[in-house]
Structure 1
Amino acid sequence: MTTSPPRGFVFDIDGCLMKGARAIPGAPEAMAALRSRGLPVRYFTNDSSKTPAEMAGRLERGGIAAAPEEVLTSALVAAEYAARRFPGGRVLAIGGSPLRDALERHGLRLVQDGPADAVVVGRDLELSYRTLEAACRAIWGGAVFLATNLDRRVPVEDGFVPGTGAVVKAVAWATERSPAVMGKPSIWAGRAAVRSLGIPAREVAVVGDQLQQDVRMGKLAGTVTVLVLSGSSTRDDARRVPPRFRPDAVLPDVGGLTEWLDLGGVGQGGEERGDRHDERAVLVPSER
């Protein structure tokens, strides 16, 4: 574990900074404080149904400063991977226009039926049985199965809505194939996020509310990891995961980040920093 505070941050959005159209209390102030210290930030969303510009606009309306070039999406990672593996290839996509546009910008040809080199499954708010059938037939015909993410659900203002994982599981169940996941928690997502900051992984902190997505991505990429309890995962969840995937720190929300940094960022050997009874910043023992 690094013994110095992180020099750059990668943030999850839903459940970490935002719930629906509203910022989580304390998030705008926390992000402004990080920027005032000259710390670069990136925003990573597994939502393939929005463009970086749309996600930046959503953050801005919530009071959080963001530029499109600071936003990474699972659609961008999937498009980059597919283009590298199948240059100019045929791709059948389940997803909205942001996913399809990303694929086309990387020189891939979109098809509605097989044969295809790859099937990319993202978030599709207008999914039809016809599209589901076409995707399965393409995979049965030999197409590689890619998923933007396996998110089971997405936090919104009044609870949760089904995530992309629900659609991915339907395709996987029918085809008896497991997808290669492009978004969080994949190594491809983690490397893309770290690369965009231009600093070593060990000097980057990944902050998010989901152990199986955000924290795992950071661990696989070799970064510091911070779990916030404002979304899906709980402190008990963090204690139950295998040691190698436990977060380096657990905070109630991103409002505790500046205090955590002031205490040194991460402790020696996973020990708590400061008052051991202070619930604002608790470090969970972890292995790296």
Structure 2
Amino acid sequence: MRPGRALSTPSFFIDIDGVLYGGSAPVSKGPGVLAYLRSRGFPFLLVTNTSRMSASDIQEKLADLGYQVSADEILPVSLAAVEYLTHKFDAARCFLIGDDSLAGLLEENGHTVSRKEEPADAVVIGQSFWADFGEIDIAQRLALQGTEVIALHRDATWPDGDVIRIGLGPIVAAIESVIDGAVTVIGKPQRAFFDAALSRTGFARADTVMIGDSIASDIDGAINAGLRSLLVRTGNSAKESVPAGCDDALDSIADLPHWCNTQFPE
């Protein structure tokens, strides 16, 4: 670990896609890591920019891969976006670029969803394999009329097994290039996302370690939010060097127990 104040009892924010699993397979020996953290009394919250699944959906997928975790231990960016909309608008009229799972989550929490060009309180941009130019065109026209544009994240890419898929970053950049103002981004690396996670858990900022595979979203975001950070060399960062300010790097999440035993011997 880089020089600095020693942690007392650590808490962990753990990214999911590219860290706990890749595509349809768990990281080797990954499921045992969460059991290890429980055995040591080290609390954790799984945090993800994935916008295509709810916490329950993610919990079910992780269970199928051998991970024992509850939905309450998962904070997806989709839920953070819903909380933002509820706080700001109570019941928002949303023009949505995103899949049906995000639409369902919005509607379950009192918001209305449209995919047509009509008056809206917010344009909400989530991950979708089927986003097209027409939807982006409607989004920018609504933005030019003063509608707030809310993107669940602005990651350029995301790992899907051995495939790197395009993220929301290019869509956000396209809209920002034609509107007078910035898009509101909810997920990592935004400090507000980490603040919301700290508030939800009660973790101490100075004792919380963010574990992730994305330097831009996970590591830089954690550093800017005043957290410690561990880069794992799976997913997005397999060939990346350790950035300045990052505490340490692991080849895989499976190496976390050894790291903890070294840093926090029993």
State TM-score, norm by structure 1. Answer: 0.83
Give per-residue Cα distances to partners, 1:120-175, cap 9 Å, x unaligned: 11101222333222212111111112110111111122221112223323333444
Is the partner of 1:238 in helix, strand or coil?
coil
- 1:11 equivalent to 2:14? Answer yes
Structure-2 separation of matches of 1:27 and 1:194: 24
Shift of 1:55: 0.9
Is the partner of 2:263 in helix, strand or coil?
coil
RMSD of aligned Cα (Å): 2.2
Q: Map 1:10-29 to 2 at 5 A.
A: 10-29=13-32
- 1:161 equivalent to 2:165? Answer yes
Shift of 1:66: 1.7
Which residue is 1:54 aligned to? 57
Which residue is 2:113 aligned to? 110
Structure-1 separation of matches of 2:84 and 2:227: 22
Amino acid at match of 2:139: A
Amino acid at match of 1:89: A
Contact kept in structure 1, 2:77 and 2:187, CA below 8 Å: yes
Shift of 1:25: 1.3
* Unpaired stretches in structure 2, ≥5 consecutive residues: none
Amino acid at match of 2:229: T
- 1:201 equivalent to 2:200? Answer no
- 1:125 equivalent to 2:129? Answer yes
State TM-score, norm by structure 2. Answer: 0.89
Amino acid at match of 1:130: G
Is the partner of 1:39 in helix, strand or coil?
coil
Structure-2 separation of matches of 1:186 and 1:219: 11
Structure-2 separation of matches of 1:51 and 1:222: 27
Which residue is 2:247 aligned to? 248
Q: 2:187 aligns with which of 183, 188, 196?
A: 183
Structure-2 separation of matches of 1:69 and 1:157: 26
Instruction: Give the ranges of 4+ consecutive aligned residues of structure 1 lying more than 6 Å apart after TM superposition.
Output: none
Structure-2 separation of matches of 1:43 and 1:79: 18
Which residue is 2:48 aligned to? 45
Structure-2 separation of matches of 1:116 and 1:106: 17
Q: 1:149 aligns with which of 149, 153, 165?
A: 153
Is the partner of 1:232 in helix, strand or coil?
helix
Is the partner of 1:13 in helix, strand or coil?
coil
Structure-2 separation of matches of 1:28 and 1:210: 20
Identity score, percent: 28
Amino acid at match of 2:172: V
Is the partner of 2:172 in helix, strand or coil?
helix
Contact kept in structure 1, 2:156 and 2:169, CA below 8 Å: yes
Give per-residue Cα distances to partners, 1:226-267, cap 9 Å, x unaligned: 11111222575434xxx4xx21111111122112212225xx
More off after superposition, 35-44 vs 230-239: 230-239
Which residue is 1:258 aligned to? 257
- The verdict on how the C-alpha distance between 1:5 and 1:258 changes in structure 2, with shifts beyond 3 A counting, is farther
More off after superposition, 170-179 vs 86-95: 170-179
Structure-2 separation of matches of 1:104 and 1:192: 22
Structure-1 separation of matches of 2:74 and 2:98: 19
Is the partner of 2:159 in helix, strand or coil?
strand
Q: 2:79 aligns with which of 72, 76, 79?
A: 76
